[in-house]
Protein backbone atom coordinates (compact mmCIF):
# COMPACT_ATOMS: atom_id res chain seq x y z
CA UNK A 1 0.00 0.00 0.00
CA UNK A 2 1.31 3.48 -0.90
CA UNK A 3 1.47 5.54 2.30
CA UNK A 4 3.29 8.44 0.62
CA UNK A 5 2.05 11.58 2.40
CA UNK A 6 1.81 13.37 -0.96
CA UNK A 7 -1.12 11.12 -1.92
CA UNK A 8 -3.06 11.92 1.27
CA UNK A 9 -5.12 15.17 1.35
CA UNK A 10 -3.98 17.66 3.97
CA UNK A 11 -7.34 17.60 5.80
CA UNK A 12 -7.04 13.86 6.54
CA UNK A 13 -5.83 13.24 10.12
CA UNK A 14 -2.77 11.02 10.05
CA UNK A 15 -4.21 8.75 12.75
CA UNK A 16 -7.10 7.91 10.40
CA UNK A 17 -4.82 6.71 7.58
CA UNK A 18 -4.98 2.96 7.89
CA UNK A 19 -4.16 -0.14 5.84
CA UNK A 20 -7.07 -1.47 3.80
CA UNK A 21 -6.84 -4.89 2.13
CA UNK A 22 -9.48 -4.27 -0.56
CA UNK A 23 -7.81 -1.62 -2.72
CA UNK A 24 -7.53 -1.74 -6.50
CA UNK A 25 -5.53 -4.71 -7.79
CA UNK A 26 -5.41 -6.46 -4.39
CA UNK A 27 -5.93 -10.20 -4.05
CA UNK A 28 -5.60 -12.89 -1.41
CA UNK A 29 -5.51 -16.65 -1.00
CA UNK A 30 -7.53 -16.35 2.21
CA UNK A 31 -11.31 -16.51 2.38
CA UNK A 32 -11.59 -12.74 2.94
CA UNK A 33 -14.71 -12.99 5.08
CA UNK A 34 -13.06 -15.24 7.67
CA UNK A 35 -10.67 -12.67 9.16
CA UNK A 36 -10.07 -9.56 7.06
CA UNK A 37 -13.53 -8.00 7.41
CA UNK A 38 -13.73 -8.62 11.15
CA UNK A 39 -10.38 -6.88 11.68
CA UNK A 40 -11.63 -3.75 9.94
CA UNK A 41 -14.47 -3.57 12.48
CA UNK A 42 -11.89 -3.37 15.25
CA UNK A 43 -10.88 0.07 13.94
CA UNK A 44 -12.51 3.51 13.81
CA UNK A 45 -15.97 4.04 12.28
CA UNK A 46 -14.40 5.74 9.27
CA UNK A 47 -10.79 5.82 8.06
CA UNK A 48 -8.76 6.85 5.02
CA UNK A 49 -7.21 4.23 2.71
CA UNK A 50 -4.43 5.16 0.23
CA UNK A 51 -4.40 3.40 -3.14
CA UNK A 52 -8.13 2.76 -3.20
CA UNK A 53 -8.96 3.52 -6.85
CA UNK A 54 -7.74 2.39 -10.26
CA UNK A 55 -6.12 5.83 -10.66
CA UNK A 56 -4.17 5.33 -7.42
CA UNK A 57 -6.18 7.79 -5.36
CA UNK A 58 -7.08 7.26 -1.73
CA UNK A 59 -10.53 7.42 -0.19
CA UNK A 60 -12.63 7.18 2.93
CA UNK A 61 -13.99 3.85 4.17
CA UNK A 62 -17.05 4.04 6.42
CA UNK A 63 -17.36 0.62 8.04
CA UNK A 64 -20.74 0.94 9.78
CA UNK A 65 -23.93 -0.20 8.08
CA UNK A 66 -25.78 2.97 9.14
CA UNK A 67 -23.11 5.27 7.67
CA UNK A 68 -23.02 3.34 4.39
CA UNK A 69 -26.80 3.67 4.11
CA UNK A 70 -26.47 7.41 4.75
CA UNK A 71 -23.96 7.79 1.92
CA UNK A 72 -26.20 5.79 -0.43
CA UNK A 73 -29.14 8.12 0.29
CA UNK A 74 -27.27 11.46 0.42
CA UNK A 75 -27.29 12.71 -3.16
CA UNK A 76 -26.74 16.29 -1.97
CA UNK A 77 -23.23 15.65 -0.67
CA UNK A 78 -22.17 12.55 -2.63
CA UNK A 79 -22.23 12.03 -6.38
CA UNK A 80 -21.95 8.85 -8.40
CA UNK A 81 -20.52 10.75 -11.38
CA UNK A 82 -17.23 9.16 -12.44
CA UNK A 83 -17.53 6.59 -9.65
CA UNK A 84 -16.47 3.81 -12.02
CA UNK A 85 -13.19 3.90 -13.95
CA UNK A 86 -14.35 2.74 -17.37
CA UNK A 87 -15.31 5.91 -19.28
CA UNK A 88 -12.68 8.22 -17.74
CA UNK A 89 -9.85 5.72 -18.29
CA UNK A 90 -10.40 5.69 -22.07
CA UNK A 91 -11.36 9.37 -22.32
CA UNK A 92 -14.91 8.56 -23.45
CA UNK A 93 -18.01 10.74 -23.28
CA UNK A 94 -20.30 7.93 -22.11
CA UNK A 95 -20.67 6.88 -18.49
CA UNK A 96 -22.17 3.76 -16.91
CA UNK A 97 -25.80 4.95 -16.95
CA UNK A 98 -27.87 5.07 -14.79
CA UNK A 99 -25.24 4.09 -12.19
CA UNK A 100 -23.20 7.26 -12.69
CA UNK A 101 -26.14 9.66 -12.86
CA UNK A 102 -27.45 11.79 -10.00
CA UNK A 103 -31.06 12.94 -9.51
CA UNK A 104 -33.03 14.21 -11.34
CA UNK A 105 -31.33 12.63 -14.39
CA UNK A 106 -30.98 9.32 -12.57
CA UNK A 107 -34.70 9.36 -11.75
CA UNK A 108 -35.61 9.80 -15.41
CA UNK A 109 -33.24 7.02 -16.47
CA UNK A 110 -34.70 4.61 -13.91
CA UNK A 111 -38.26 5.37 -15.01
CA UNK A 112 -37.18 4.62 -18.56
CA UNK A 113 -35.74 1.21 -17.62
CA UNK A 114 -38.22 0.09 -14.95
CA UNK A 115 -40.80 -1.42 -17.35
CA UNK A 116 -38.36 -3.93 -18.85
CA UNK A 117 -37.09 -5.07 -15.43
CA UNK A 118 -40.46 -5.35 -13.67
CA UNK A 119 -40.96 -8.56 -11.65
CA UNK A 120 -43.67 -9.85 -14.02
CA UNK A 121 -41.39 -9.37 -17.03
CA UNK A 122 -38.53 -11.16 -15.31
CA UNK A 123 -40.86 -14.02 -14.25
CA UNK A 124 -41.38 -14.81 -17.92
CA UNK A 125 -37.72 -15.88 -18.06
CA UNK A 126 -38.09 -18.60 -15.42
CA UNK A 127 -38.42 -21.45 -17.91
CA UNK A 128 -35.35 -20.36 -19.86
CA UNK A 129 -33.29 -19.87 -16.68
CA UNK A 130 -34.27 -23.33 -15.44
CA UNK A 131 -33.49 -24.88 -18.81
CA UNK A 132 -29.96 -23.46 -18.80
CA UNK A 133 -29.39 -24.45 -15.16
CA UNK A 134 -30.64 -28.01 -15.72
CA UNK A 135 -28.58 -28.40 -18.88
CA UNK A 136 -25.38 -27.50 -17.06
CA UNK A 137 -26.14 -29.71 -14.05
CA UNK A 138 -27.07 -32.66 -16.28
CA UNK A 139 -23.75 -32.24 -18.06
CA UNK A 140 -21.62 -32.68 -14.93
CA UNK A 141 -23.73 -34.50 -12.32
CA UNK A 142 -22.05 -37.86 -13.05
CA UNK A 143 -18.51 -36.47 -12.95
CA UNK A 144 -18.28 -36.11 -9.18
CA UNK A 145 -16.05 -33.05 -9.37
CA UNK A 146 -16.27 -29.61 -10.98
CA UNK A 147 -14.85 -26.13 -10.91
CA UNK A 148 -18.10 -24.42 -9.96
CA UNK A 149 -17.10 -21.13 -11.58
CA UNK A 150 -15.97 -22.50 -14.93
CA UNK A 151 -18.57 -25.27 -15.18
CA UNK A 152 -21.66 -23.43 -13.92
CA UNK A 153 -21.54 -20.01 -12.23
CA UNK A 154 -20.01 -18.02 -15.08
CA UNK A 155 -21.73 -19.24 -18.18
CA UNK A 156 -25.33 -19.68 -17.10
CA UNK A 157 -25.90 -15.97 -16.19
CA UNK A 158 -24.12 -14.92 -19.39
CA UNK A 159 -26.55 -16.99 -21.43
CA UNK A 160 -29.48 -15.17 -19.77
CA UNK A 161 -27.84 -11.81 -20.46
CA UNK A 162 -27.31 -12.73 -24.12
CA UNK A 163 -30.97 -13.78 -24.28
CA UNK A 164 -32.12 -10.40 -22.95
CA UNK A 165 -29.84 -8.43 -25.24
CA UNK A 166 -30.64 -10.49 -28.32
CA UNK A 167 -26.99 -11.51 -28.75
CA UNK A 168 -25.70 -14.83 -30.13
CA UNK A 169 -25.10 -17.58 -27.57
CA UNK A 170 -21.85 -18.33 -29.39
CA UNK A 171 -20.39 -15.19 -27.76
CA UNK A 172 -20.44 -16.70 -24.25
CA UNK A 173 -16.67 -17.26 -24.06
CA UNK A 174 -15.84 -13.78 -25.37
CA UNK A 175 -18.16 -12.11 -22.88
CA UNK A 176 -16.70 -14.21 -20.08
CA UNK A 177 -13.18 -13.02 -20.93
CA UNK A 178 -14.25 -9.38 -21.12
CA UNK A 179 -16.13 -9.59 -17.84
CA UNK A 180 -13.14 -11.04 -16.03
CA UNK A 181 -10.83 -8.31 -17.35
CA UNK A 182 -13.29 -5.49 -16.64
CA UNK A 183 -14.18 -6.42 -13.08
CA UNK A 184 -11.08 -8.25 -11.86
CA UNK A 185 -8.30 -6.51 -13.74
CA UNK A 186 -4.91 -6.70 -12.02
CA UNK A 187 -3.82 -3.42 -13.65
CA UNK A 188 -5.16 -0.38 -15.48
CA UNK A 189 -3.81 -1.53 -18.87
CA UNK A 190 -5.93 -4.69 -18.79
CA UNK A 191 -8.97 -2.63 -17.78
CA UNK A 192 -8.45 -0.15 -20.61
CA UNK A 193 -8.00 -2.89 -23.21
CA UNK A 194 -11.16 -4.75 -22.13
CA UNK A 195 -13.20 -1.53 -22.02
CA UNK A 196 -12.19 -0.60 -25.59
CA UNK A 197 -12.97 -4.11 -26.88
CA UNK A 198 -16.38 -4.47 -25.24
CA UNK A 199 -17.48 -0.95 -26.19
CA UNK A 200 -16.49 -1.53 -29.82
CA UNK A 201 -18.68 -4.62 -29.88
CA UNK A 202 -21.62 -2.84 -28.21
CA UNK A 203 -21.35 -0.03 -30.77
CA UNK A 204 -21.74 -2.62 -33.53
CA UNK A 205 -24.80 -4.11 -31.81
CA UNK A 206 -26.45 -0.69 -31.43
CA UNK A 207 -25.91 0.11 -35.12
CA UNK A 208 -27.34 -3.28 -36.06
CA UNK A 209 -30.50 -2.63 -34.00
CA UNK A 210 -30.94 0.76 -35.62
CA UNK A 211 -31.05 -1.01 -38.98
CA UNK A 212 -33.07 -4.03 -37.85
CA UNK A 213 -34.77 -3.64 -34.46
CA UNK A 214 -36.05 -6.68 -32.59
CA UNK A 215 -37.69 -7.48 -29.23
CA UNK A 216 -34.53 -7.30 -27.13
CA UNK A 217 -33.21 -4.75 -24.63
CA UNK A 218 -30.87 -3.06 -27.12
CA UNK A 219 -33.80 -2.48 -29.47
CA UNK A 220 -35.74 -1.00 -26.54
CA UNK A 221 -32.89 1.46 -25.90
CA UNK A 222 -32.65 2.41 -29.57
CA UNK A 223 -36.40 3.01 -30.00
CA UNK A 224 -37.26 4.31 -26.53
CA UNK A 225 -37.76 7.87 -25.35
CA UNK A 226 -37.26 9.56 -22.01
CA UNK A 227 -39.96 11.43 -20.07
CA UNK A 228 -39.46 14.59 -22.13
CA UNK A 229 -39.90 12.68 -25.40
CA UNK A 230 -36.21 12.78 -26.22
CA UNK A 231 -34.57 9.63 -27.63
CA UNK A 232 -31.35 8.43 -26.04
CA UNK A 233 -28.10 9.82 -27.41
CA UNK A 234 -25.40 7.49 -28.68
CA UNK A 235 -23.42 8.04 -25.46
CA UNK A 236 -26.48 7.22 -23.36
CA UNK A 237 -27.18 4.03 -25.31
CA UNK A 238 -23.58 2.93 -24.88
CA UNK A 239 -23.68 3.70 -21.17
CA UNK A 240 -26.90 1.76 -20.67
CA UNK A 241 -25.60 -1.22 -22.65
CA UNK A 242 -22.31 -1.25 -20.77
CA UNK A 243 -24.12 -1.10 -17.41
CA UNK A 244 -26.38 -4.00 -18.39
CA UNK A 245 -23.28 -5.86 -19.57
CA UNK A 246 -21.21 -5.57 -16.39
CA UNK A 247 -24.19 -5.65 -14.03
CA UNK A 248 -25.90 -8.60 -15.65
CA UNK A 249 -22.95 -10.94 -15.87
CA UNK A 250 -20.61 -10.89 -12.94
CA UNK A 251 -22.71 -10.15 -9.86
CA UNK A 252 -24.88 -13.26 -10.10
CA UNK A 253 -21.82 -15.43 -10.74
CA UNK A 254 -20.00 -13.95 -7.77
CA UNK A 255 -22.90 -14.32 -5.36
CA UNK A 256 -23.53 -17.89 -6.45
CA UNK A 257 -19.86 -18.73 -5.95
CA UNK A 258 -19.79 -17.49 -2.35
CA UNK A 259 -23.12 -19.18 -1.64
CA UNK A 260 -21.87 -22.55 -2.88
CA UNK A 261 -18.58 -22.14 -1.03
CA UNK A 262 -20.63 -21.59 2.14
CA UNK A 263 -22.82 -24.63 1.46
CA UNK A 264 -19.76 -26.77 0.75
CA UNK A 265 -18.30 -25.75 4.11
CA UNK A 266 -21.63 -26.23 5.94
CA UNK A 267 -23.27 -29.54 4.99
CA UNK A 268 -25.94 -28.93 7.65
CA UNK A 269 -27.14 -25.96 5.59
CA UNK A 270 -27.12 -28.10 2.45
CA UNK A 271 -29.34 -30.60 4.22
CA UNK A 272 -31.68 -27.87 5.48
CA UNK A 273 -32.24 -26.53 1.94
CA UNK A 274 -32.66 -30.00 0.44
CA UNK A 275 -35.24 -30.90 3.06
CA UNK A 276 -37.04 -27.56 2.77
CA UNK A 277 -36.53 -25.89 -0.64
CA UNK A 278 -39.00 -23.18 0.40
CA UNK A 279 -36.19 -21.85 2.61
CA UNK A 280 -33.94 -21.13 -0.39
CA UNK A 281 -35.10 -17.48 -0.97
CA UNK A 282 -34.44 -16.55 2.67
CA UNK A 283 -31.13 -18.42 2.59
CA UNK A 284 -30.08 -16.47 -0.50
CA UNK A 285 -30.75 -13.15 1.24
CA UNK A 286 -28.79 -14.21 4.31
CA UNK A 287 -25.84 -15.51 2.30
CA UNK A 288 -25.89 -12.32 0.21
CA UNK A 289 -25.55 -10.40 3.47
CA UNK A 290 -22.81 -12.56 4.94
CA UNK A 291 -20.84 -12.74 1.66
CA UNK A 292 -21.58 -9.29 0.26
CA UNK A 293 -19.00 -8.74 -2.45
CA UNK A 294 -19.46 -5.34 -4.10
CA UNK A 295 -17.84 -1.97 -3.42
CA UNK A 296 -18.76 1.16 -5.37
CA UNK A 297 -17.46 4.70 -5.02
CA UNK A 298 -18.99 8.10 -4.37
CA UNK A 299 -17.33 11.48 -4.80
CA UNK A 300 -18.00 14.21 -2.26
CA UNK A 301 -19.37 17.34 -3.96
CA UNK A 302 -20.24 19.37 -0.85
CA UNK A 303 -18.44 19.38 2.49
CA UNK A 304 -20.08 17.15 5.09
CA UNK A 305 -19.12 14.78 7.88
CA UNK A 306 -19.42 11.08 8.62
CA UNK A 307 -18.94 9.85 12.16
CA UNK A 308 -17.51 13.23 13.15
CA UNK A 309 -14.91 13.18 10.35
CA UNK A 310 -14.87 15.98 7.77
CA UNK A 311 -15.29 14.89 4.15
CA UNK A 312 -14.34 17.54 1.61
CA UNK A 313 -15.30 18.04 -2.06
CA UNK A 314 -13.25 15.77 -4.30
CA UNK A 315 -12.81 13.09 -1.67
CA UNK A 316 -13.68 9.54 -2.70
CA UNK A 317 -15.86 7.49 -0.38
CA UNK A 318 -16.14 3.72 -0.75
CA UNK A 319 -19.55 2.22 -0.06
CA UNK A 320 -18.53 -1.33 0.73
CA UNK A 321 -21.33 -3.83 1.10
CA UNK A 322 -18.66 -6.30 2.22
CA UNK A 323 -17.73 -4.25 5.29
CA UNK A 324 -21.22 -2.99 6.18
CA UNK A 325 -22.71 -6.48 5.95
CA UNK A 326 -20.71 -7.70 8.95
CA UNK A 327 -21.08 -4.61 11.13
CA UNK A 328 -21.46 -5.87 14.72
CA UNK A 329 -23.49 -2.75 15.55
CA UNK A 330 -26.08 -3.66 12.92
CA UNK A 331 -26.23 -7.46 13.08
CA UNK A 332 -26.39 -9.92 15.92
CA UNK A 333 -23.67 -12.55 15.39
CA UNK A 334 -22.67 -10.86 12.11
CA UNK A 335 -20.15 -13.55 11.10
CA UNK A 336 -22.69 -16.35 11.42
CA UNK A 337 -25.07 -17.37 8.62
CA UNK A 338 -28.59 -17.81 10.01
CA UNK A 339 -30.59 -19.12 7.07
CA UNK A 340 -33.94 -17.67 8.17
CA UNK A 341 -32.60 -14.31 9.41
CA UNK A 342 -34.43 -12.34 6.65
CA UNK A 343 -31.93 -9.45 6.62
CA UNK A 344 -32.45 -6.08 4.95
CA UNK A 345 -29.02 -6.29 3.37
CA UNK A 346 -27.18 -3.86 1.10
CA UNK A 347 -25.96 -6.34 -1.49
CA UNK A 348 -28.29 -4.91 -4.14
CA UNK A 349 -27.45 -1.36 -3.11
CA UNK A 350 -29.82 0.96 -1.30
CA UNK A 351 -32.02 3.96 -1.96
CA UNK A 352 -31.99 5.56 -5.42
CA UNK A 353 -29.36 3.14 -6.72
CA UNK A 354 -31.06 -0.08 -5.66
CA UNK A 355 -30.09 -2.61 -8.35
CA UNK A 356 -32.64 -2.54 -11.14
CA UNK A 357 -31.87 -6.16 -12.03
CA UNK A 358 -32.37 -7.57 -8.53
CA UNK A 359 -35.55 -9.48 -9.43
CA UNK A 360 -33.77 -11.26 -12.27
CA UNK A 361 -30.68 -11.92 -10.14
CA UNK A 362 -32.73 -13.49 -7.34
CA UNK A 363 -34.52 -15.72 -9.83
CA UNK A 364 -31.23 -16.90 -11.31
CA UNK A 365 -29.77 -17.68 -7.89
CA UNK A 366 -32.91 -19.42 -6.60
CA UNK A 367 -33.25 -21.63 -9.67
CA UNK A 368 -29.51 -22.41 -9.73
CA UNK A 369 -29.47 -23.57 -6.10
CA UNK A 370 -32.66 -25.58 -6.51
CA UNK A 371 -31.43 -27.28 -9.71
CA UNK A 372 -28.04 -28.10 -8.20
CA UNK A 373 -29.34 -29.47 -4.89
CA UNK A 374 -32.03 -31.48 -6.68
CA UNK A 375 -29.50 -33.37 -8.80
CA UNK A 376 -26.21 -33.39 -6.87
CA UNK A 377 -25.68 -35.28 -3.58
CA UNK A 378 -23.93 -33.71 -0.61
CA UNK A 379 -20.88 -31.86 -1.94
CA UNK A 380 -17.73 -30.52 -0.33
CA UNK A 381 -14.61 -28.50 -1.18
CA UNK A 382 -11.81 -30.39 -2.91
CA UNK A 383 -9.07 -30.31 -0.25
CA UNK A 384 -5.71 -28.55 -0.57
CA UNK A 385 -6.72 -26.30 -3.47
CA UNK A 386 -5.54 -22.68 -3.33
CA UNK A 387 -8.13 -20.10 -4.36
CA UNK A 388 -7.04 -16.56 -5.15
CA UNK A 389 -9.71 -13.91 -4.67
CA UNK A 390 -9.69 -10.56 -6.42
CA UNK A 391 -10.55 -8.03 -3.71
CA UNK A 392 -11.44 -4.81 -5.51
CA UNK A 393 -14.82 -3.81 -6.89
CA UNK A 394 -16.44 -7.23 -7.09
CA UNK A 395 -14.72 -9.82 -4.87
CA UNK A 396 -14.51 -13.15 -6.63
CA UNK A 397 -12.25 -16.21 -6.29
CA UNK A 398 -10.56 -17.59 -9.37
CA UNK A 399 -11.90 -21.11 -8.84
CA UNK A 400 -14.16 -23.17 -6.60
CA UNK A 401 -13.51 -26.91 -6.82
CA UNK A 402 -16.38 -29.03 -5.50
CA UNK A 403 -16.64 -32.82 -5.26
CA UNK A 404 -19.24 -35.38 -4.27
CA UNK A 405 -19.51 -39.16 -4.01
- Per-residue pLDDT tens digits for 27-48: 899 999 989 999 999 999 999 9
Angular region, 92: left φ>0, alpha ψ -120 to 50, beta rest: beta
Is the backbone peptide bond immediately before 118 cis, with ω within 30 degrees of 0? no
What does pLDDT average to over the chain? 89
Q: Is the pLDDT of residue 263 over 80?
A: yes
- What are the respective helix, strand and coil percentages of the chain, to the nearest 5? 50, 10, 40
Q: 0.85 cut: is pTM over it?
A: yes
Q: How far is CA 28 from CA 31, 34, 387, 388, 398, in A?
A: 8, 12, 8, 5, 10
Over range 299-315, report the average pLDDT: 95
The C-alpha atoms of residue 172 and residue 51 are separated, in whole angstroms, by: 33
Q: Minimum mean pLDDT among 92-106, 121-135, 179-193, 311-325: which range?
A: 179-193
- What is the per-residue pLDDT for 3? 46
Pick the CATH number of 5-404 from 1.10.287.3510, 3.40.1080.10, 1.20.1630.10, 1.10.630.10: 1.10.630.10
pLDDT digits over 223-255, tens only? 999 988 999 999 999 988 888 877 766 788 899
Nearest residue to 334 (alpha-carbon basis) of 68, 31, 38: 38
Q: Is the pLDDT at 6 greater than 60, yes or no?
A: no
pLDDT at 55: 75
Domain boundaries, the chain: 5-404
Which run of H or E residues covers position 295?
strand 295-300
- For 236, list phi and psi in degrees, rounded to 5: -70, -40
On the question of pLDDT at 353 being above 90, the answer is no
Cα gap 139→151, rounded to integer Å: 9
Task: Please state the rounded mean pLDDT for residues 95-113.
Answer: 88
Q: Indicate the pLDDT class of residue 24, thresholds 50, 70 and 90.
A: confident
Cis peptide before 295 (omega within 30 of 0): no
Q: What is the pLDDT of residue 1?
A: 42
The arithmetic mean of pLDDT across residues 386-392, rounded, is: 88
How much is the average pLDDT of 257-268? 97
Among residues of the chain, what percentage have pLDDT more than 90?
Answer: 56
Closest CA to 366 of 48, 44, 129: 129
Q: How far is CA 35 from CA 32, 40, 52, 368, in A?
A: 6, 9, 20, 28
- Average pLDDT of the residues in 78-99: 82
Question: What confidence score (pLDDT) does residue 356 get?
Answer: 83
As a whole number of angstroms, the distance between CA 311 and CA 304 comes to 5
Residue of higher predicted confidence among 194 and 385: 385
Amino acid sequence: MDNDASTIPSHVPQELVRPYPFGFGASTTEIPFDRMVAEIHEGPPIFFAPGLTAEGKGGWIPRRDADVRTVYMDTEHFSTRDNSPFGPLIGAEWRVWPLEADPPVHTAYRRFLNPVFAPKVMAALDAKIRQYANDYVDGFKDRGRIDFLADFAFESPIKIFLELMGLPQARVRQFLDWTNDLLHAPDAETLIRATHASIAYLEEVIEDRKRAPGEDLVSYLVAGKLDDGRPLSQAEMLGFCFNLFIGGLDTVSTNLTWQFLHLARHPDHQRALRENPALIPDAIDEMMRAYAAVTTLRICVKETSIGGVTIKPGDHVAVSTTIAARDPEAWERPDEVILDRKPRHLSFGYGPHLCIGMHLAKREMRIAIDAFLSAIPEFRLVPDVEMRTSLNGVMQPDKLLLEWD
